[in-house]
Structure 1
Amino acid sequence: MVNQIRLYTESDHVEKAQHFEAVLSSRGVETEIVTVEQLNARFLRLHPELGLCVDVDGLWLCANGMKMQPDWQAETARLKRASLKSEMIARACNLAEKPFLIDATAGLGHDSLLMAHLGAQVTLVERHPILFTLLEDSHIRARQDTFLSQVVARIHLVFSDSADYLKSRVEQKNLVDVVYLDPMFPQRDQNQQAPKKQAQVKKQMQLLHLLLPEDGEMDLGDHLLELAQDIAKRVVVKRPRLAVFLAGKQPDHQWQGDACRFDAYFQHELVA
């Protein structure tokens, strides 16, 4: 796991950078603040190594001339178009019932944002200190937005390893309506006849892959399925359309889309 990283900023935002330095230090990440004259596209191109930067819009992950953050404000148009009928994830997670839901594979939080908008009370779990801090900053900034403030009020962030968090809920018999799983690297196990040339991964995912290397640190989430089934009435797994089942377990029901599908595992015997 990345435990040392440079944090670039301009002189106007040093105080904000120092805040993030303290937060990351409390989470085991050592940062070196580097003040630059202009934190612009040219600077990022000339400093391609993985780093962080702070500007008027908050905290960013940067590398290879790119920068990204969980831009929840950019999701506003999608949220305003979304409805319980139009979104397949809403049917898969039974969002019409306004469930208490754990998103155990946070990513950039966009699915959690959508599910909260459609009525779920979401606990968003992330173990990587840098990614969690990026999510936390997005959550704080979204609270200042008139539209998003009502949505993120239904999102609770938890800094924890998902397996540890689910185990603690199992031990406490603390049940939940839905656990949602969207493993970071499902492409390794796609059940395809022949390899296909894939489109370039989006900028956000490219940078996440640099932060969260596939080998060792990340996995497919197989171990989370059984834990999730111990505490949730419904476990929903987002998969690429042709991917094999998580942990090799056939779901009770599926919702199929053009590019992805949702596999659902029902636990009718659980009583909260």
Structure 2
Amino acid sequence: MVSALRLYTEQAFLEKAQQYSAVLSSRGVDVEIEVIEKLAARFLRLNPELALCVDQEGLWLSANGMKMQPDWQGETGRLKRASLKSEMIARACNLSEKPRLIDATAGLGHDSLLMAHLGAHVTLVERHPILFSLLEDTQQRALNDKILHAAASRIQLVFSDSADYLSQQAELGNTFDVVYLDPMFPQRDQNQQAPKKQAQVKKQMQLLHLLLPEDGEMDLGDNLLPLAQKIAKRVIVKRPRLAVFLAGQSTDQQWLGDACRFDAYFQHDLKM
């Protein structure tokens, strides 16, 4: 896991950068702040190593001339168009019932934002201190956005390893309506070729791959499924349409889209 990073900022944002540095230090990440004249695209191209940046828009991850932060503001258009009927994820997670839901594979939090917008009360779990800090910063800005405030306020961020968190909930006897799993590096059917539009990984995912190299292709989420089944009546797994089943376990029900599918696992005897 990345335990030390340089943080670039301009003099005007030094105090803010120091605050982020203190938070990251408390989470086990050593940050070396470097004040530069101008945090611009040219500077990022000339400094391609993985780093953090702080500017007027908050905390960013950067590498290879690119910047990335969870873009919840960029999801506004989708949220405005979304409905319980139009979104496949809403049917899979039974969002019409406004469930108590754990998203155990946080990523950039876009699915959690959508589910919260459609009524779910989401516990978003992330173990990586840098990614968690990016999510925390993004949520704070969303809470100050009049369009995103309601959805962001229904999301609780938890800094924890998902396997540990799910196990802890089981030990405490806590149950949830839904656990949602969308592994960062889903395994595809090796006999199928990925569509061309998926061949080039999006820029945001490229940076996440640099941040999380120790997980690589082995971070498939297989260990999370049985843990989730202990505490939720409904476990929903998002997969590429042609991917093998998570943990090799066939599903009770599926919702199929053009590029992805949602596999459902039901625990009818679980007491809520």
Please state which band the TM-score falls in when normalised by the shorter chain: over 0.9
Hey, what does 1:193 align to over in structure 2? 191
Deviation of the 1:213 alpha carbon: 1.1
Deviation of the 1:200 alpha carbon: 1.1
Give matches, 1:81-100, under 5 Å. Answer: 81-100=81-100
Matched letter for residue 141 of structure 1: R
Matched letter for residue 181 of structure 2: L
**Distance in 1 of aligned mates of 2:225 and 2:104:** 10
Give matches, 1:157-168, under 5 Å. Answer: 157-168=157-168
Deviation of the 1:195 alpha carbon: 4.2
Hey, what does 2:43 align to over in structure 1? 43
**Distance in 1 of aligned mates of 2:216 and 2:260:** 25
Tell me the secondary structure at the aligned position of residue 222 of structure 1: coil
Hey, what does 2:30 align to over in structure 1? 30
**Distance in 2 of aligned mates of 1:80 and 1:129:** 31
Hey, what does 2:137 align to over in structure 1? 137
Is residue 2:1 matched to residue 1:11? Answer: no
Matched letter for residue 2 of structure 2: V
Hey, what does 1:71 align to over in structure 2? 71
Is residue 2:229 matched to residue 1:229? Answer: yes
Using the size of structure 1 for normalisation, the TM-score is 0.97
Deviation of the 1:231 alpha carbon: 0.2
Maintained 8 Å contact 1:179/1:236: yes
Please list every run of 5 or more consecutive structure 1 residues that lacks an aligned counterpart in the other structure.
none
Maintained 8 Å contact 1:192/1:242: no
Deviation of the 1:199 alpha carbon: 2.7
Using the size of structure 2 for normalisation, the TM-score is 0.97
Matched letter for residue 83 of structure 2: S
Query: C-alpha deviations, 1:89-126, integer Å up to 9, x for none?
Result: 00000000000000000000000000000000000000
**Distance in 2 of aligned mates of 1:192 and 1:228:** 26
Closer, same or farther: CA 194–169 of 1 in aligned 2, 3 Å: closer
Closer, same or farther: CA 194–156 of 1 in aligned 2, 3 Å: closer
Hey, what does 1:103 align to over in structure 2? 103
Deviation of the 1:192 alpha carbon: 3.9
Deviation of the 1:214 alpha carbon: 5.4
Percentage of pairs with the same residue: 75
Closer, same or farther: CA 218–158 of 1 in aligned 2, 3 Å: farther
**Distance in 1 of aligned mates of 2:218 and 2:42:** 32
Deviation of the 1:193 alpha carbon: 2.2
Deviation of the 1:71 alpha carbon: 1.1
Maintained 8 Å contact 1:143/1:152: yes
Maintained 8 Å contact 1:184/1:218: no
Deviation of the 1:147 alpha carbon: 1.1
Please list every run of 5 or more consecutive structure 2 residues that lacks an aligned counterpart in the other structure.
none
Tell me the secondary structure at the aligned position of residue 113 of structure 1: helix
Matched letter for residue 108 of structure 2: L
Hey, what does 1:125 align to over in structure 2? 125
Hey, what does 2:113 align to over in structure 1? 113
Maintained 8 Å contact 2:192/2:242: no
**Distance in 2 of aligned mates of 1:160 and 1:87:** 29
Matched letter for residue 145 of structure 2: D
**Distance in 1 of aligned mates of 2:65 and 2:122:** 34
**Distance in 1 of aligned mates of 2:135 and 2:79:** 18
Tell me the secondary structure at the aligned position of residue 223 of structure 2: helix
Tell me the secondary structure at the aligned position of residue 37 of structure 2: coil
**Distance in 2 of aligned mates of 1:133 and 1:222:** 25
Give matches, 1:140-155, under 5 Å. Answer: 140-155=140-155
Deviation of the 1:35 alpha carbon: 0.3
Closer, same or farther: CA 162–37 of 1 in aligned 2, 3 Å: same
Hey, what does 1:267 align to over in structure 2? 267
Would you identify which runs of 4 or more consecutive aligned residues in structure 1 move more than 2 Å?
192-199, 214-218
Maintained 8 Å contact 2:185/2:217: no
**Distance in 2 of aligned mates of 1:67 and 1:111:** 21
